[in-house]
C-alpha cells in the first residue's frame, strides 16, 4: 500500500477557492487554487481519524499536490502495510482536544489574566480637537471625561490595582493639565509596572513633563500629535522637547490622510526622531493612508510567518486585546473602549471578569469567529483583530477585502 504522510509541524487551511500549506519549522508556505482532487486530499489529511496519513489511490497518485508536498519537505510518500503506517497528530487537533475554554483552569485566579489597565483619570477636557469623536474610540490617548475620581473612588481603585499581581502596564490618560488631575493620577502609579502617561499635544507643557517624570517609578510619557492640526513651529517645539526627555518621552503622530502620510515621511527624513510612533486614524474619508500603513496586501500575506504557539494563540485568543481593561472616572469598567460596560470599580472583579469571559468579548475575539475572516485561509496567520478594526466595525485586515467594500465613488477619494 502507498501512503502520503504529512509532517505534524505543517498546517493546512482551505476554503472554496484556495489551499494553503504552512510549515512552522521552515516558515515556507504554498498557496494555490483548489480543485476537486486536491480539496479531497486536504480533507482526508485534516480528518482526525487519518492523523495526517492517507492512502494514495490511483486517481491522485500523480497529483501535483503530492509533488508540492514532497518538493517542499511538507511530508513524504512511502510504501508499507496498513498496520505499519506512520501517524501524526495534526496541530489543529492537538489544540482542539487539549484546550477547553470552559475548563476550571481557565478561570483559576482570573485577576492574574489582567496585564494592562487603562485609566481615564478625568478632568474637564478643554482641547476641543476636531477629531475628538474619532480619536477617543480609536486611540489609547484621549478622554472626553468631565468627571474626576473622588477620594473614596481613588482609594478603592488603588486597592483593586494592588490586587492585580500580574499587572505589567498602567496606562494613565490625562485630559486636563490641572494639578489636581495630575496628582490624582500620581496616586495610582505602581512600582514594578510600567506607568505610561498619555497626553494630548494641546495640553502638554515642559513643566507638566518635568513633574510627571520626576516620579521614582518606571515611567513613559506619550504625547499624541494630530498631524492635521499642528503647525510647523509647534512641531519644532515638540522635537526639542523630545530631545530633552528622549529616554522617557515618545511622540505619537496621528495621521488621517495621504497628506499627513507624506508630511510625516518627510519629517522622518529630515529630523532625528529618537522615539516616535505613527498611528493611523479612520475618519470615513480618504483611505489610502490606511492601505499603506495599516492594512495587509497580497505580498504582506505571503510573507506572514508564525510558529505553533502563535497559530494556536490566534485560534483561541486575541493577543492584542487580551488582558486589558479600561476604567473611567464614573467607575465603569470595559474590556475595550469600543465594547460594552462589564461592571464597575466597586464590583467584585473576579465575578465581573468571569461573567464577561463567558460571553463574546474582545479578549477572545479571533478571526475564525468573524466575517469575512472566518472564510479566509490566512485567518490563523494574520495579526489579531485590532482596536481600529473594532472601531471601524468591519474586521478589515487586508487591502483586497477593504477595497471590495468601497463604493465606486469612494475609490476616487
10-residue mean pLDDT profile of the chain (413 residues): values are 87 86 88 86 82 76 78 89 76 48 50 90 70 71 70 86 91 83 84 90 86 86 86 86 85 85 77 76 74 82 83 86 90 90 91 86 88 85 88 75 54 34
**Residue 101 confidence (pLDDT):** 44
* Overall pTM surpassing 0.75 (yes/no): yes
Give the chain as a 3 state SS string.
CEEEEECCCEEEEECCCEEEEEECCCCCEEEEECCHHHHHHHHHHHCCCCCCEEECCCCCCCCHHHHHHHHCCCEEEEECCHHHCCCCCCHHHHHHHHCCCCCHHHHCCHHHHCCEEEEEEECCCCCCCCCHHHHHHHCCCCCCCCCECCHHHHHHHHHHHHCCCCCCEEEEEECCCCHHHHHHHHHCCCCCCEEEEEEECCCCCHHHHHHHHCCCCCEEEEEEEECCCCCHHHHHHHHHHHHHCCCCEEEEEEECCHHHHHHHHHHHHHCCCCCEEEEECCCCCCCHHHHHHCCECHHHHHCCCCCHHHHHHHHHCCCCCCCEEEECCCCEEECCCCCCEEEECCCCHHHHHHHHCCCCCHHHCCHHHCCCHHHCCCCCCCCCCCHHHHHHCCCCCEHHHHHHCCCCCHHHC
**Residue 412 confidence (pLDDT):** 32
In our burial notation (b when 16+ CB lie closer than 10 A, e otherwise), range 49-74 reads ebbbbbebeeebeebebbeebeeeeb
Domain map (residue ranges) of the chain: 2-98, 110-294+322-364
Fold of 110-294+322-364: TIM Barrel (3.20.20)
**Residue 337 confidence (pLDDT):** 87
**Residue 98 confidence (pLDDT):** 41
**Residue 103 confidence (pLDDT):** 46
**Residue 56 confidence (pLDDT):** 86
C-alpha cell at 386: 485590532
Amino acid at each position: 500500500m502507498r501512503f502520503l504522510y504529512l509532517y505534524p509541524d505543517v498546517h493546512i487551511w482551505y476554503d472554496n477557492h484556495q489551499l494553503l500549506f504552512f510549515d512552522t519549522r521552515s516558515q515556507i508556505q504554498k498557496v494555490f487554487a483548489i480543485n476537486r482532487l486536491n480539496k479531497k486530499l486536504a480533507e482526508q489529511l485534516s480528518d482526525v481519524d487519518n492523523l495526517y496519513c492517507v492512502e494514495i489511490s490511483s486517481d491522485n497518485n500523480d497529483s501535483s499536490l503530492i509533488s508540492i508536498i514532497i518538493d517542499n519537505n511538507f511530508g513524504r510518500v512511502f510504501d508499507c502495510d496498513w498496520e505499519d503506517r506512520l501517524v501524526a497528530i495534526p496541530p489543529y487537533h492537538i489544540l482542539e482536544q487539549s484546550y477547553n475554554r470552559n475548563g476550571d483552569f481557565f478561570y483559576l485566579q482570573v485577576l492574574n489574566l489582567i496585564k494592562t489597565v487603562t485609566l481615564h483619570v478625568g478632568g474637564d477636557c478643554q482641547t476641543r480637537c476636531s477629531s475628538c469623536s474619532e480619536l477617543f474610540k480609536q486611540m489609547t490617548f484621549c478622554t472626553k471625561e468631565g468627571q474626576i475620581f473622588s477620594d473614596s473612588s481613588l482609594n478603592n481603585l488603588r486597592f483593586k490595582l494592588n490586587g492585580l499581581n500580574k499587572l505589567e502596564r498602567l496606562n494613565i490618560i490625562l485630559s486636563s493639565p490641572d494639578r489636581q488631575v495630575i496628582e490624582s493620577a500620581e496616586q495610582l502609579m505602581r512600582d514594578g509596572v510600567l506607568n505610561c502617561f498619555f497626553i494630548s499635544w494641546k495640553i502638554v507643557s515642559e513643566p507638566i513633563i518635568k513633574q510627571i517624570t520626576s516620579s521614582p517609578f518606571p515611567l513613559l510619557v506619550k504625547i499624541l500629535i494630530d498631524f492635521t492640526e499642528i503647525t510647523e513651529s509647534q512641531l519644532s517645539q515638540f522635537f526639542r522637547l523630545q530631545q530633552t526627555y528622549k529616554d522617557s518621552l515618545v511622540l505619537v503622530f496621528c495621521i488621517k490622510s495621504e497628506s499627513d502620510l507624506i508630511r510625516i515621511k518627510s519629517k522622518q527624513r529630515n529630523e532625528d526622531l529618537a522615539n516616535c510612533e505613527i498611528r493611523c486614524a479612520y475618519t470615513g474619508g480618504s483611505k489610502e493612508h490606511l492601505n499603506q500603513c495599516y492594512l495587509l496586501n497580497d505580498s504582506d500575506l505571503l510573507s506572514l510567518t508564525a510558529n505553533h504557539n502563535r497559530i494556536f494563540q490566534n485560534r483561541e485568543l486575541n493577543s492584542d486585546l487580551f488582558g486589558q481593561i479600561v476604567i473611567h472616572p464614573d467607575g465603569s469598567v470595559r474590556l475595550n473602549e469600543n465594547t460594552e460596560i462589564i461592571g464597575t470599580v466597586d464590583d467584585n472583579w473576579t465575578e465581573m471578569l468571569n461573567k464577561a469571559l463567558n460571553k463574546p468579548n474582545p479578549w477572545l475575539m479571533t478571526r475564525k469567529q468573524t466575517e469575512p475572516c472566518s472564510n479566509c485561509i490566512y485567518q490563523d496567520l494574520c495579526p489579531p483583530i485590532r482596536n481600529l478594526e473594532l472601531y471601524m466595525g468591519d474586521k478589515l485586515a487586508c487591502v483586497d477585502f477593504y477595497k471590495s467594500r468601497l463604493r465606486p465613488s469612494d475609490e476616487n477619494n
